[in-house]
Structure 1
Amino acid sequence: MEPYPRIFNYHRRKQLEAERVECSAEEYIDYSKISIYLQDATKVMLDRREEKPLELLQEYFNLALKGEHVLLRDYAFISASLYNRSCFMIQMNAIFHSSPYFKVVTALDYHQCLCLLCSDFPRTLIAEAAKILPPHPNYPSTKTDTFISTLSQEPALFDKFEIEDLRLSVQLFFYFAEFMEKVKEVFNELSCGDYENAQVTISLLYTALEGLYKKVKIYLYPPFELVAEAIIIKSQKKMKMNPDDVYLIEEMQGFMTGAGTISFNEFTYVRNIQNLMRINKLDKAIAAQGTYVQPQEEKLKEIVLQEPPPVESSGQQVRRVKSKKKK
Structure 2
Amino acid sequence: FNSVRQGTHILFREFNFVQATPHNRTSFLRTFWRCFRTVGKNGVKVHLTAQNLAICYLRLLCPDFPMELTQKAARIVLMDDAMDCLMSFSDFLFAFQIQFYYSEFLESVAAIYQDLLAGKSPNTVVVPTSSSGQHRQRQPTNDCNPLDGVEASLFYQCLESLCDRSKYSCPPSALVKEILSSVQRLTFYEFLMALAKHQGINRALGALPDKGDLFLDPAMDQEIEKLVAQVSGLSLSAPTSAGGDAANLPVRNVPRISSPWRPLHHRRRMDAESEGSNEETDSSEN
TM-score, normalised on structure 2?
0.58
Q: Structure 1: which amino acid aligns with 2:162? A: L
Aligned to 2:26: 86
- Corresponding position: 1:207 with 2:163: no
Q: Deviations over 1:69-94 (max 9, x none)?
A: 10111110000000001111111011
What is the CA-CA distance between 1:289 and the residue it aligns to?
6.6
What is the CA-CA distance between 1:261 and the residue it aligns to?
1.6
TM-score, normalised on structure 1?
0.51
Structure 1's 284 and 228: CA in aligned 2 closer, same or farther, altered over 3 A? Answer: same
What is the CA-CA distance between 1:277 and the residue it aligns to?
2.2
Aligned to 1:164: 90
* Superposition RMSD in Å: 2.9
Aligned to 1:277: 202
Looking at structure 2, the residues matched to 180 and 64 of structure 1 have their Cα atoms a distance apart, in angstroms, of 27
Q: Deviations over 1:184-233 (max 9, x none)?
A: 1111111122698561111210111111122123x711110111122234
Contact (CA 8 Å) 1:90, 1:289: kept in 2 or not? Answer: no
Contact (CA 8 Å) 1:197, 1:265: kept in 2 or not? Answer: no
Larger radius of gyration: 2
Which structure has the higher relative contact order (CA within 8 Å, separation 6+)? 1
Looking at structure 1, the residues matched to 4 and 156 of structure 2 have their Cα atoms a distance apart, in angstroms, of 38
Aligned pairs (5 A) from 1:67-216: 67-99=7-39, 100-108=41-49, 109-112=52-55, 113-134=57-78, 143=81, 155-156=82-83, 158-192=84-118, 193=138, 199-216=149-166
Contact (CA 8 Å) 1:107, 1:166: kept in 2 or not? Answer: no
Structure 1's 282 and 92: CA in aligned 2 closer, same or farther, altered over 3 A? Answer: closer
Structure 1's 173 and 280: CA in aligned 2 closer, same or farther, altered over 3 A? Answer: closer
Looking at structure 2, the residues matched to 79 and 120 of structure 1 have their Cα atoms a distance apart, in angstroms, of 12
Contact (CA 8 Å) 2:30, 2:207: kept in 1 or not? Answer: no
Structure 1's 280 and 119: CA in aligned 2 closer, same or farther, altered over 3 A? Answer: closer
Aligned to 1:268: 192
5+ residue gaps in structure 1? 1-60, 136-141, 144-154, 236-259, 292-327
What is the CA-CA distance between 1:106 and the residue it aligns to?
2.5
Structure 1's 194 and 116: CA in aligned 2 closer, same or farther, altered over 3 A? Answer: farther
Corresponding pairs, count: 187
* Structure 1 stretches of at least 4 aligned residues deviating more than 3 Å after TM superposition: 194-198, 285-291
Q: Deviations over 1:99-140 (max 9, x none)?
A: 4225310333322211111111111111111112138xxxxx
Structure 1's 194 and 62: CA in aligned 2 closer, same or farther, altered over 3 A? Answer: farther
Q: Structure 2: which amino acid aligns with 1:168? A: F
Contact (CA 8 Å) 1:190, 1:200: kept in 2 or not? Answer: yes
- Secondary structure at the aligned position of 2:78 is classed as coil
- Secondary structure at the aligned position of 1:190 is classed as helix
Contact (CA 8 Å) 1:93, 1:289: kept in 2 or not? Answer: no
Structure 1's 91 and 290: CA in aligned 2 closer, same or farther, altered over 3 A? Answer: farther
Aligned pairs (5 A) from 1:57-76: 61-76=1-16
Aligned pairs (5 A) from 1:2-17: none
Structure 1's 290 and 267: CA in aligned 2 closer, same or farther, altered over 3 A? Answer: farther
- Secondary structure at the aligned position of 2:8 is classed as coil
Contact (CA 8 Å) 1:107, 1:126: kept in 2 or not? Answer: no
Aligned to 2:172: 223
Structure 1's 272 and 63: CA in aligned 2 closer, same or farther, altered over 3 A? Answer: closer
- Secondary structure at the aligned position of 2:46 is classed as strand
Looking at structure 2, the residues matched to 83 and 73 of structure 1 have their Cα atoms a distance apart, in angstroms, of 14
